[in-house]
Amino acid sequence: MSDEQDGHTGQSNNWLTRIGRALGGQEPQDRDSLVEVLRSAQQRAILDADALSMCEGVLHVAELQVRDVMIPRSKVSLLRRSESVWELLPAIVDSGHSRFPVTGDSRDDVIGILIAKDLLPYLDPQHQREFQLRELLRPALFVPESKRLDALLKLFQESRNHLAIVVDEYGGLAGIVTIEDVIEQIVGEIDDEHDLDDDAWILNRTDDGQTVVKALTPIDAFNEHFGTDFSDEEFDTIGGVVANGFGHVPRRGENLVLEGLRFDVVRADSRRLHLLMVTPERACRD
């Protein structure tokens, strides 16, 4: 057996040992009791916080379907088969994505996936080539909205795809789902250079003073925008402050008031906050 295999086996045995110690001879009867055992193990320092979070994420994924995490049709960047390379570029550059569904005669007619880097040879003025988009397309992976996420993750691994086309019961385009969407349910949100656009923390402001903000908004950015004085010593994001105020991860529709602002939960899952509606308390009374 190679050193690499020995190392891998050692890591696996270590995890099995830690999980066995976490269970402590107990036999959980359902998911909730298993989670309680794991949380108890974390409190006893058998599992660290990151390991507990990932274990809960894995259990959470087994309960979700593709429809719960997919990017809906209205937000999908589609490319048309009939477009030239120069007509495709603006949409590719503006979106910042690397993979794009390509459609034929209609938006429901997805004929393949274009990987943006495959266009690079056609942009070299020294080597002009005849552009045939169909020749660049990779086969599309189609999945139903009802497919479980754990099964989808295995399918991604087996097919070596990073993106799947989600179809509704009539075979029409319902949206797309990526391997990143699934993995984020286990390890938490994965930010990239496009996610970290400071201008995107504050998403929308209405005439009646309500503002939608991302829960991941840094506290200093939130304070600067709203004129508040939340401390960043204990938490880095406004979502952390709000969750601490609730004393638990709140559900959609819950609200509380902090520093003269009412925070309504617009979007959240069982593990974290995503979007908050912020309203001055005086506007709520009016």
| Whether residue 242 has pLDDT greater than 90 | yes
| CA pair distance 107, 104, nearest whole angstrom | 7
Task: Answer for the pair 111, 136: CB distance below 8 angstroms, yes or no.
Answer: no
Domain ranges of the chain: 3-63, 68-187, 198-285
Pairing status of strand 255-258 against strand 211-214: unpaired
Q: Which residue spans within the chain are E strands per DSSP?
A: 71-72, 79-80, 99-103, 110-115, 142-144, 163-167, 173-178, 202-205, 211-214, 255-258, 261-268, 273-280
Long-range CB contacts for residues 82-86, cutoff 8 Å, separation at least 24: 83/133, 84/131, 85/119, 85/122, 85/123, 85/131, 85/133
By mean pLDDT, which of 168-172, 184-188, 220-224 is the weakest? 184-188
pLDDT in tens, 155-182: 999 999 999 999 998 889 999 999 988 8
Mean pLDDT of 97-107: 91
| Whether residue 73 has pLDDT greater than 50 | yes
| CA pair distance 267, 278, nearest whole angstrom | 13
Domain 68-187 fold = CBS-domain (3.10.580)
Question: pLDDT: is 158 or 202 the higher one?
Answer: 158
Residue 95 has phi, psi (to 5 degrees) of -80, -35
CATH number assigned to the domain covering 198-285: 3.30.465.10
| Whether residue 188 has pLDDT greater than 70 | no
